[in-house]
Amino acid sequence: MPTLELITDADLYAPQHVGRRHLLVGGGRVLWIGAERPELPAALDVRVTELGGRRLVPGFVDGHAHVTGGGGESGYGSSVPPQQAGAFVTAGVTTVVGLLGTDDCVRTTGQLVNAVYGLRAQGLGAFCHTGGYHLPPTTLTGSIRGDIVHVDPILGFGELAISDHRSSQPTYDEFLRVASEVHTAGLMTGKAGICHLHLGDGVRGLELVRRALDGTELPARTFNPTHVNRRRALFEEALELTARGVVVDITASPEDGAQVPDGPDADLPASFAVRQVLAGVAAGRVPKNGWTVSSDGGGCLPVFDAEGTVTHVDVGRASTLPALLANLLEGGYELADVLPGLTTNPARLLRLEGRGSVTVGGRADLVVLADRSHAVDEVWCGGERFVAAGELVRADPF
Protein backbone atom coordinates (compact mmCIF):
# COMPACT_ATOMS: atom_id res chain seq x y z
CA MET A 1 0.00 0.00 0.00
CA PRO A 2 1.45 3.44 -0.90
CA THR A 3 2.83 5.39 2.04
CA LEU A 4 2.77 8.68 0.13
CA GLU A 5 -0.23 10.39 -1.45
CA LEU A 6 -0.20 13.35 -3.82
CA ILE A 7 -3.41 15.38 -3.73
CA THR A 8 -3.53 17.52 -6.85
CA ASP A 9 -5.38 20.61 -8.01
CA ALA A 10 -7.03 21.49 -4.69
CA ASP A 11 -8.62 24.87 -4.13
CA LEU A 12 -7.02 25.20 -0.71
CA TYR A 13 -8.58 26.94 2.28
CA ALA A 14 -6.11 26.59 5.13
CA PRO A 15 -8.58 28.04 6.43
CA GLN A 16 -7.59 31.31 4.71
CA HIS A 17 -8.00 31.07 0.95
CA VAL A 18 -4.67 30.02 -0.57
CA GLY A 19 -5.85 29.07 -4.08
CA ARG A 20 -4.96 26.15 -6.35
CA ARG A 21 -2.32 23.97 -4.75
CA HIS A 22 -0.94 20.43 -4.71
CA LEU A 23 -0.20 18.60 -1.43
CA LEU A 24 2.06 15.67 -0.60
CA VAL A 25 0.90 13.62 2.39
CA GLY A 26 2.85 10.93 4.25
CA GLY A 27 3.26 9.55 7.74
CA GLY A 28 0.02 11.20 8.80
CA ARG A 29 1.37 14.68 8.01
CA VAL A 30 1.28 17.24 5.25
CA LEU A 31 4.84 17.05 3.88
CA TRP A 32 4.67 19.66 1.13
CA ILE A 33 2.34 22.25 -0.41
CA GLY A 34 3.12 23.87 -3.75
CA ALA A 35 1.67 25.61 -6.78
CA GLU A 36 3.55 23.47 -9.33
CA ARG A 37 2.82 19.76 -9.57
CA PRO A 38 6.00 17.88 -8.63
CA GLU A 39 7.59 15.12 -10.67
CA LEU A 40 8.05 12.23 -8.24
CA PRO A 41 10.07 9.07 -8.91
CA ALA A 42 7.94 6.05 -9.77
CA ALA A 43 9.90 4.04 -7.19
CA LEU A 44 8.16 6.00 -4.43
CA ASP A 45 4.86 4.38 -5.44
CA VAL A 46 2.89 7.56 -4.74
CA ARG A 47 -0.89 7.34 -4.86
CA VAL A 48 -2.43 10.30 -6.73
CA THR A 49 -5.83 11.83 -5.93
CA GLU A 50 -7.09 14.42 -8.39
CA LEU A 51 -9.49 17.01 -6.91
CA GLY A 52 -10.15 18.97 -10.08
CA GLY A 53 -10.36 22.30 -8.29
CA ARG A 54 -12.66 21.20 -5.49
CA ARG A 55 -12.25 22.98 -2.15
CA LEU A 56 -9.91 21.39 0.37
CA VAL A 57 -10.33 22.56 3.98
CA PRO A 58 -8.99 21.53 7.40
CA GLY A 59 -10.74 18.73 9.26
CA PHE A 60 -13.27 20.07 11.74
CA VAL A 61 -12.41 20.20 15.45
CA ASP A 62 -15.56 19.37 17.44
CA GLY A 63 -14.99 20.62 20.98
CA HIS A 64 -18.17 19.24 22.53
CA ALA A 65 -19.52 15.73 21.97
CA HIS A 66 -20.92 12.96 24.15
CA VAL A 67 -18.87 10.06 22.84
CA THR A 68 -20.16 7.74 25.58
CA GLY A 69 -23.71 8.88 24.82
CA GLY A 70 -25.75 11.48 26.68
CA GLY A 71 -29.18 11.69 28.18
CA GLY A 72 -31.06 10.08 30.98
CA GLU A 73 -33.35 13.03 31.74
CA SER A 74 -36.53 11.06 31.04
CA GLY A 75 -35.75 7.76 32.69
CA TYR A 76 -33.48 4.77 32.23
CA GLY A 77 -34.58 4.17 28.67
CA SER A 78 -33.56 7.64 27.52
CA SER A 79 -29.78 7.18 27.57
CA VAL A 80 -28.13 7.65 24.18
CA PRO A 81 -25.73 4.88 23.05
CA PRO A 82 -21.99 5.52 22.65
CA GLN A 83 -20.81 7.06 19.38
CA GLN A 84 -18.52 5.45 16.81
CA ALA A 85 -15.84 7.21 14.78
CA GLY A 86 -17.89 7.03 11.59
CA ALA A 87 -20.56 9.34 13.01
CA PHE A 88 -17.92 12.06 13.23
CA VAL A 89 -15.65 11.57 10.22
CA THR A 90 -18.58 11.41 7.77
CA ALA A 91 -19.42 14.91 9.06
CA GLY A 92 -15.87 16.13 8.42
CA VAL A 93 -14.84 15.93 12.09
CA THR A 94 -11.27 14.69 12.44
CA THR A 95 -10.75 15.73 16.08
CA VAL A 96 -13.39 15.39 18.79
CA VAL A 97 -13.47 16.27 22.50
CA GLY A 98 -15.70 14.02 24.59
CA LEU A 99 -17.36 14.96 27.86
CA LEU A 100 -19.99 13.95 30.40
CA GLY A 101 -23.21 15.87 30.99
CA THR A 102 -26.30 15.20 33.09
CA ASP A 103 -25.28 11.60 33.72
CA ASP A 104 -21.93 11.80 35.48
CA CYS A 105 -23.05 9.09 37.90
CA VAL A 106 -23.54 5.94 35.80
CA ARG A 107 -21.16 7.23 33.17
CA THR A 108 -17.73 7.90 34.63
CA THR A 109 -14.50 9.63 33.68
CA GLY A 110 -12.89 6.20 33.39
CA GLN A 111 -15.48 5.13 30.82
CA LEU A 112 -15.00 8.38 28.95
CA VAL A 113 -11.22 7.98 28.76
CA ASN A 114 -11.71 4.38 27.60
CA ALA A 115 -14.09 5.56 24.85
CA VAL A 116 -11.57 8.19 23.73
CA TYR A 117 -8.83 5.60 23.44
CA GLY A 118 -11.27 3.46 21.47
CA LEU A 119 -11.92 6.30 19.02
CA ARG A 120 -8.19 6.81 18.67
CA ALA A 121 -7.82 3.11 17.87
CA GLN A 122 -10.43 3.60 15.13
CA GLY A 123 -8.25 6.40 13.68
CA LEU A 124 -10.07 9.48 14.95
CA GLY A 125 -8.29 12.28 16.80
CA ALA A 126 -9.92 12.19 20.25
CA PHE A 127 -9.56 13.95 23.61
CA CYS A 128 -11.84 14.63 26.57
CA HIS A 129 -12.55 16.65 29.69
CA THR A 130 -12.88 15.35 33.22
CA GLY A 131 -15.95 15.97 35.39
CA GLY A 132 -19.50 16.63 34.23
CA TYR A 133 -22.53 18.71 35.16
CA HIS A 134 -22.15 18.36 38.89
CA LEU A 135 -19.99 19.07 41.93
CA PRO A 136 -18.33 17.26 43.63
CA PRO A 137 -16.89 16.18 40.29
CA THR A 138 -16.47 12.71 38.93
CA THR A 139 -12.74 12.14 38.36
CA LEU A 140 -10.33 9.30 37.61
CA THR A 141 -7.45 10.12 39.95
CA GLY A 142 -9.43 11.76 42.75
CA SER A 143 -8.85 15.37 41.70
CA ILE A 144 -9.42 17.63 38.70
CA ARG A 145 -5.81 18.69 38.62
CA GLY A 146 -4.60 15.10 38.91
CA ASP A 147 -6.74 13.99 35.99
CA ILE A 148 -5.43 16.72 33.68
CA VAL A 149 -1.81 16.25 34.78
CA HIS A 150 -1.68 12.46 34.70
CA VAL A 151 -4.15 11.35 32.01
CA ASP A 152 -3.00 12.08 28.46
CA PRO A 153 -6.34 12.72 26.65
CA ILE A 154 -7.84 14.95 29.39
CA LEU A 155 -7.53 18.62 28.41
CA GLY A 156 -9.78 20.44 30.90
CA PHE A 157 -12.99 20.21 32.92
CA GLY A 158 -16.57 20.07 31.74
CA GLU A 159 -19.26 20.39 30.99
CA LEU A 160 -19.96 22.04 34.36
CA ALA A 161 -23.61 23.09 34.44
CA ILE A 162 -24.55 26.60 35.58
CA SER A 163 -27.81 28.54 35.31
CA ASP A 164 -29.66 25.25 34.81
CA HIS A 165 -32.16 23.30 36.92
CA ARG A 166 -30.07 20.14 36.32
CA SER A 167 -26.90 21.65 37.80
CA SER A 168 -25.63 21.16 41.35
CA GLN A 169 -26.11 24.92 41.83
CA PRO A 170 -22.41 25.63 42.52
CA THR A 171 -21.60 28.56 44.77
CA TYR A 172 -19.24 31.27 43.60
CA ASP A 173 -16.43 29.87 45.78
CA GLU A 174 -16.97 26.35 44.43
CA PHE A 175 -16.93 27.70 40.91
CA LEU A 176 -13.64 29.51 41.49
CA ARG A 177 -12.05 26.45 43.09
CA VAL A 178 -12.79 24.36 39.99
CA ALA A 179 -11.55 27.09 37.64
CA SER A 180 -8.32 27.54 39.59
CA GLU A 181 -7.65 23.78 39.59
CA VAL A 182 -8.14 23.63 35.84
CA HIS A 183 -6.03 26.71 35.14
CA THR A 184 -3.15 25.48 37.28
CA ALA A 185 -3.23 22.04 35.65
CA GLY A 186 -3.07 23.73 32.25
CA LEU A 187 0.04 25.64 33.32
CA MET A 188 1.67 22.44 34.59
CA THR A 189 1.06 20.50 31.39
CA GLY A 190 0.70 22.93 28.50
CA LYS A 191 -2.79 21.54 27.94
CA ALA A 192 -5.88 23.68 27.34
CA GLY A 193 -6.73 24.08 31.02
CA ILE A 194 -10.26 25.34 30.31
CA CYS A 195 -13.47 25.11 32.27
CA HIS A 196 -16.10 24.18 29.68
CA LEU A 197 -19.41 25.52 30.98
CA HIS A 198 -22.87 24.20 30.11
CA LEU A 199 -25.28 27.13 30.11
CA GLY A 200 -28.94 26.45 30.81
CA ASP A 201 -32.03 28.62 30.44
CA GLY A 202 -31.63 30.33 33.82
CA VAL A 203 -31.83 34.10 34.05
CA ARG A 204 -28.52 34.23 35.96
CA GLY A 205 -26.76 33.50 32.68
CA LEU A 206 -23.02 34.16 32.88
CA GLU A 207 -23.09 35.97 36.22
CA LEU A 208 -20.50 33.62 37.77
CA VAL A 209 -18.09 34.22 34.87
CA ARG A 210 -18.46 38.00 35.07
CA ARG A 211 -17.81 37.93 38.83
CA ALA A 212 -14.70 35.81 38.29
CA LEU A 213 -13.36 38.18 35.63
CA ASP A 214 -14.02 41.21 37.84
CA GLY A 215 -12.81 39.76 41.12
CA THR A 216 -9.98 37.29 40.46
CA GLU A 217 -6.71 36.94 38.60
CA LEU A 218 -7.89 33.97 36.54
CA PRO A 219 -7.40 34.60 32.79
CA ALA A 220 -10.52 34.96 30.70
CA ARG A 221 -9.59 32.01 28.46
CA THR A 222 -10.15 29.70 31.45
CA PHE A 223 -13.92 30.11 31.02
CA ASN A 224 -15.47 28.56 27.92
CA PRO A 225 -19.29 28.77 27.94
CA THR A 226 -21.22 26.58 25.51
CA HIS A 227 -24.85 26.48 24.30
CA VAL A 228 -24.74 30.29 24.31
CA ASN A 229 -27.34 30.43 21.54
CA ARG A 230 -30.04 28.75 23.63
CA ARG A 231 -31.42 32.18 24.69
CA ARG A 232 -31.14 35.50 22.89
CA ALA A 233 -30.35 37.34 26.14
CA LEU A 234 -27.64 34.79 26.99
CA PHE A 235 -26.15 35.06 23.51
CA GLU A 236 -25.90 38.85 23.70
CA GLU A 237 -24.32 38.55 27.15
CA ALA A 238 -21.81 36.01 25.82
CA LEU A 239 -20.80 38.21 22.88
CA GLU A 240 -20.00 41.03 25.29
CA LEU A 241 -17.61 38.73 27.17
CA THR A 242 -15.64 37.92 24.01
CA ALA A 243 -14.21 41.44 24.15
CA ARG A 244 -12.71 40.48 27.53
CA GLY A 245 -11.03 37.36 26.14
CA VAL A 246 -13.69 34.70 26.77
CA VAL A 247 -14.13 32.22 23.90
CA VAL A 248 -17.81 31.29 23.50
CA ASP A 249 -19.17 28.15 21.88
CA ILE A 250 -22.25 28.00 19.66
CA THR A 251 -24.13 24.70 19.52
CA ALA A 252 -24.95 23.59 15.99
CA SER A 253 -28.60 22.66 15.66
CA PRO A 254 -30.92 21.37 12.96
CA GLU A 255 -32.19 24.27 10.88
CA ASP A 256 -35.95 24.32 10.41
CA GLY A 257 -36.06 27.38 8.15
CA ALA A 258 -38.50 29.16 10.44
CA GLN A 259 -38.32 32.85 11.23
CA VAL A 260 -36.05 33.50 14.21
CA PRO A 261 -38.36 34.12 17.20
CA ASP A 262 -38.02 37.40 19.03
CA GLY A 263 -37.68 38.12 22.76
CA PRO A 264 -34.97 37.44 25.38
CA ASP A 265 -35.94 33.75 25.78
CA ALA A 266 -35.82 32.93 22.06
CA ASP A 267 -33.74 29.90 21.09
CA LEU A 268 -31.42 31.07 18.31
CA PRO A 269 -30.65 28.78 15.35
CA ALA A 270 -26.91 28.26 14.96
CA SER A 271 -26.88 29.90 11.53
CA PHE A 272 -28.41 33.07 12.96
CA ALA A 273 -25.93 33.07 15.84
CA VAL A 274 -22.93 32.67 13.51
CA ARG A 275 -24.23 35.49 11.30
CA GLN A 276 -24.37 37.73 14.37
CA VAL A 277 -20.85 36.71 15.36
CA LEU A 278 -19.46 37.42 11.89
CA ALA A 279 -21.14 40.83 11.93
CA GLY A 280 -19.48 41.46 15.30
CA VAL A 281 -16.09 40.38 13.92
CA ALA A 282 -16.48 42.72 10.95
CA ALA A 283 -17.39 45.59 13.27
CA GLY A 284 -14.52 44.87 15.67
CA ARG A 285 -16.82 43.94 18.56
CA VAL A 286 -15.94 40.23 18.55
CA PRO A 287 -12.36 38.93 18.22
CA LYS A 288 -11.77 36.68 15.22
CA ASN A 289 -10.73 33.84 17.53
CA GLY A 290 -13.42 34.53 20.16
CA TRP A 291 -15.94 31.96 18.94
CA THR A 292 -16.29 28.28 18.12
CA VAL A 293 -19.02 25.91 16.96
CA SER A 294 -19.56 22.37 18.29
CA SER A 295 -22.08 19.64 17.57
CA ASP A 296 -23.17 18.22 20.96
CA GLY A 297 -22.99 14.96 19.02
CA GLY A 298 -24.42 12.00 20.91
CA GLY A 299 -25.97 14.33 23.46
CA CYS A 300 -29.60 14.19 24.49
CA LEU A 301 -31.49 17.38 23.65
CA PRO A 302 -34.53 17.45 25.94
CA VAL A 303 -37.28 20.07 26.00
CA PHE A 304 -38.80 20.73 29.44
CA ASP A 305 -42.13 22.22 30.46
CA ALA A 306 -42.60 24.70 33.31
CA GLU A 307 -42.63 21.86 35.85
CA GLY A 308 -39.35 20.36 34.62
CA THR A 309 -40.98 17.42 32.82
CA VAL A 310 -39.46 16.33 29.50
CA THR A 311 -41.90 16.94 26.66
CA HIS A 312 -39.66 16.17 23.69
CA VAL A 313 -36.23 14.62 23.13
CA ASP A 314 -33.82 14.86 20.21
CA VAL A 315 -30.23 13.69 19.84
CA GLY A 316 -27.24 15.85 18.88
CA ARG A 317 -25.47 14.86 15.68
CA ALA A 318 -22.08 15.76 14.24
CA SER A 319 -23.81 16.14 10.87
CA THR A 320 -25.20 19.50 12.04
CA LEU A 321 -21.71 20.99 11.54
CA PRO A 322 -21.46 20.54 7.74
CA ALA A 323 -25.18 21.35 7.47
CA LEU A 324 -24.53 24.67 9.23
CA LEU A 325 -21.56 25.38 6.97
CA ALA A 326 -23.64 24.68 3.85
CA ASN A 327 -26.47 26.90 5.15
CA LEU A 328 -24.10 29.83 5.60
CA LEU A 329 -22.37 29.34 2.24
CA GLU A 330 -25.72 29.18 0.47
CA GLY A 331 -26.56 32.43 2.25
CA GLY A 332 -23.59 34.14 0.60
CA TYR A 333 -21.02 33.99 3.40
CA GLU A 334 -17.37 33.44 2.52
CA LEU A 335 -15.90 30.04 3.35
CA ALA A 336 -12.72 31.62 4.75
CA ASP A 337 -14.81 33.66 7.21
CA VAL A 338 -16.91 30.75 8.48
CA LEU A 339 -14.23 28.04 8.71
CA PRO A 340 -12.27 29.41 11.72
CA GLY A 341 -15.17 28.63 14.07
CA LEU A 342 -14.95 24.98 13.05
CA THR A 343 -11.18 24.64 12.72
CA THR A 344 -8.48 27.06 13.87
CA ASN A 345 -10.43 28.67 16.72
CA PRO A 346 -11.24 25.45 18.63
CA ALA A 347 -7.75 24.08 17.92
CA ARG A 348 -6.21 27.24 19.34
CA LEU A 349 -8.43 27.23 22.44
CA LEU A 350 -7.73 23.55 23.07
CA ARG A 351 -4.00 23.99 22.37
CA LEU A 352 -4.02 21.21 19.79
CA GLU A 353 -0.96 22.05 17.76
CA GLY A 354 -0.96 20.89 14.15
CA ARG A 355 -4.76 20.57 13.98
CA GLY A 356 -7.42 22.87 12.60
CA SER A 357 -5.30 24.18 9.73
CA VAL A 358 -3.57 22.87 6.61
CA THR A 359 0.14 23.57 7.01
CA VAL A 360 3.37 21.81 6.17
CA GLY A 361 4.23 19.61 9.14
CA GLY A 362 0.67 19.65 10.47
CA ARG A 363 -1.59 16.60 10.73
CA ALA A 364 -3.10 15.52 7.45
CA ASP A 365 -6.68 16.10 8.63
CA LEU A 366 -8.33 17.14 5.38
CA VAL A 367 -11.88 17.57 4.09
CA VAL A 368 -13.03 18.06 0.50
CA LEU A 369 -16.34 19.85 -0.06
CA ALA A 370 -18.68 19.02 -2.91
CA ASP A 371 -19.02 21.83 -5.45
CA ARG A 372 -22.76 22.47 -5.44
CA SER A 373 -24.11 21.06 -2.19
CA HIS A 374 -21.09 22.03 -0.05
CA ALA A 375 -21.44 18.59 1.56
CA VAL A 376 -18.50 16.59 2.93
CA ASP A 377 -17.19 14.61 -0.05
CA GLU A 378 -13.77 13.28 1.02
CA VAL A 379 -12.06 13.02 4.42
CA TRP A 380 -8.53 12.13 5.46
CA CYS A 381 -7.87 11.74 9.18
CA GLY A 382 -4.20 11.57 10.09
CA GLY A 383 -3.46 10.91 6.41
CA GLU A 384 -5.82 7.90 6.25
CA ARG A 385 -8.76 8.04 3.84
CA PHE A 386 -12.04 7.63 5.74
CA VAL A 387 -14.62 9.08 3.35
CA ALA A 388 -14.75 8.93 -0.44
CA ALA A 389 -17.58 10.31 -2.58
CA GLY A 390 -19.48 11.05 0.61
CA GLU A 391 -19.39 7.44 1.84
CA LEU A 392 -17.50 5.91 4.76
CA VAL A 393 -14.81 3.64 3.31
CA ARG A 394 -13.17 2.61 6.57
CA ALA A 395 -15.68 0.55 8.48
CA ASP A 396 -16.53 1.07 12.14
CA PRO A 397 -15.76 -2.07 14.19
CA PHE A 398 -19.38 -2.50 15.24
Catalytic residue list: 296
- Tell me the C-alpha to C-alpha distance, in Å, between residue 71 and each of 104, 298, 303, 343, 355: 10, 9, 12, 27, 30
Contact of 359 with 40, CB cutoff 8 Å: no
Q: Rounded to an integer, what distance in angstroms lies between the CA atom of residue 271 and that of residue 275?
A: 6
- The partner residues of 111 in beta bridges, in order of sequence, read none
Closest listed residue to residue 66, CA positions, set 205, 159, 175: 159
DSSP label at residue 60? E
- The partner residues of 13 in beta bridges, in order of sequence, read 17
**Between β-strands 376-381 and 384-388, what pairing exists: parallel, antiparallel or unpaired?**
antiparallel
Degrees to nearest 5, angle at CA 185 with 183 and 189:
120
- Amino acid code (one letter) for 205: G
Helical spans, DSSP H, in 216-365: 232-242, 270-282, 320-330, 335-338, 344-349
Q: Which residues contact 99 (CB under 8 A, 6 or more apart)?
A: 64, 65, 66, 112, 128, 129, 132, 158, 159, 196
Please count the CA atoms within 13 angstroms of the CA of 155 that sit on its side-chain side: 24
Closest listed residue to residue 287, CA positions, set 341, 235, 206: 341
Contact of 79 with 103, CB cutoff 8 Å: yes
- Backbone angles phi and psi of 225, in degrees to 5: -75, 140
Closest listed residue to residue 7, CA positions, set 380, 386, 395, 391: 380
DSSP label at residue 267? P
Contact of 231 with 266, CB cutoff 8 Å: yes
